[in-house]
């Protein structure tokens, strides 16, 4: 079931447990539920856990330690240094803080969370390399790096991962970034894989989607209070895709989650698909996502159904339209 993650030599589950929600990113969360969710994910076969110092100001890392500290030798941990800490001394300090939060002497994969335009990337990656040389991290990489940023990073050294937004409703990385990752042998970790729950099989219409989650470029800025971009969105194409997905669930007998995650697992350069849960029961349901493999005809149908929305939204990989990537 486990696979080798890129060139790291790490054996990882294809599903990565995303720890952001446990720190309250999606609403009030009981700590006991978060810990049970982490332990249940491990119990069903997930050994890869993704967190960041930005998730609850370190609280997410602390939760992971409380839940699975005793299993540290059996799990792979990725964490991220916030972009405001991209200066070399700040990278070192942030890593030490994360190590303490996680209760470990090393982080398997450590990433720069977002590009920082005020600190030369060479300096940030230099600090990450020094951490690797010191044994504090096993491998380093980037997150939310678009085509130009990725070119710069690859020219500077060994990039072991690029964590990116990627799902059926947002295929922007396919235009430029995914092919470059594939060529360079850089695995992609997909986040927002279920698009804040839109791909969880609960909503028949985009109009039923919770307003506090409707923030991506697909949504028309004139209609949704949480949207910060100024684009008109592509809601007609989005609704057509949602309708097609419901039809496919009926035709295949698979859940929308299985369709969404099975499709991502089949995509070029994808090394891990991040999925989060809110309690143990939801985590136990991740077993079906670990096992799902879609037939070629279903993959083709998903490609075709999502292509119009892909073209409508284009190649901007910043899913929220904030202009942070290039």
219-241 burial, b for 16+ CB within 10 Å, e for fewer? bbbeebeebebebebbbebbbeb
H helical segments located in the chain: 31-43, 59-68, 88-102, 121-133, 147-156, 177-184, 235-252, 256-265, 280-284, 287-291, 296-313
Q: What share of the chain is helix, strand, coil (3-state, %, to 5)?
A: 45, 15, 40
Q: Please provide the size of the chain in residues.
A: 326
| Sign of the Cα pseudo-torsion (255, 260, 261, 267, in order) | positive
Beta-ladder partners of 50: 18, 78
> In sequence order, which residues have a C-beta less than 8 Å from that of residue 248 and are 6 or more positions away?
254, 259, 298, 301, 302, 305
Q: Is 203 known to be catalytic? A: no
Backbone angles phi, psi at 164, to 5 degrees: -140, 155
Question: Which position has the token pair 């060479």?
Answer: 122
Question: Which position has the token pair 């879609």?
Answer: 294
> Contact at 8 Å (CB) between 265 and 229?
no
Spot the catalytic one: 17, 55, 166, 191: 55
> Contact at 8 Å (CB) between 163 and 111?
yes
The residues annotated with a catalytic role in the active site are 55
């Amino acid at each position: 079931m486990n696979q080798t993650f890129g060139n790291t030599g790490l054996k990882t589950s294809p599903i990565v447990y995303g720890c952001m929600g446990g720190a309250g990113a999606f609403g009030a969360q009981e700590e006991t539920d978060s810990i049970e969710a982490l332990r249940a994910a491990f119990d069903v076969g997930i050994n890869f856990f993704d967190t960041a110092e930005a998730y609850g100001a370190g609280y997410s890392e602390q939760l992971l330690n409380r839940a699975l500290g005793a299993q540290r030798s059996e799990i792979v941990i990725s964490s991220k240094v916030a972009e405001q800490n991209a200066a070399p001394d700040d990278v070192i300090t942030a890593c030490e803080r994360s190590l303490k939060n996680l209760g470990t002497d090393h982080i398997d994969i450590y990433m720069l969370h977002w590009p920082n335009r005020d600190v030369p990337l060479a300096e940030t990656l230099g600090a990450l390399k020094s951490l690797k040389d010191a044994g504090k991290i096993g491998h380093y990489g980037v997150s939310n790096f678009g085509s130009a940023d990725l070119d710069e990073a690859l020219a500077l050294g060994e990039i072991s991962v690029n964590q990116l937004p990627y799902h059926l409703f947002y295929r922007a990385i396919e235009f430029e970034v995914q092919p470059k990752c594939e060529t360079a042998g850089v695995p992609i970790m997909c986040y927002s894989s279920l698009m804040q729950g839109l791909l969880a099989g609960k909503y028949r219409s985009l109009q039923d989607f919770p307003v506090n989650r409707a923030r991506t470029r697909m949504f028309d800025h004139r209609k949704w209070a949480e949207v910060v971009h100024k684009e008109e969105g592509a809601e007609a194409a989005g609704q057509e895709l949602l309708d097609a997905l419901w039809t496919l669930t009926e035709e295949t007998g698979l859940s929308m989650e299985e369709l969404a995650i099975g499709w991502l697992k089949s995509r070029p350069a994808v090394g891990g698909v991040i999925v989060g849960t809110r309690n143990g029961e939801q985590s136990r349901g991740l077993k079906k996502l670990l096992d799902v493999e879609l037939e070629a005809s279903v993959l083709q149908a998903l490609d075709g159904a999502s292509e119009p929305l892909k073209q409508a939204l284009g190649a901007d990989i910043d899913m929220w339209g904030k202009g942070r990537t290039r």
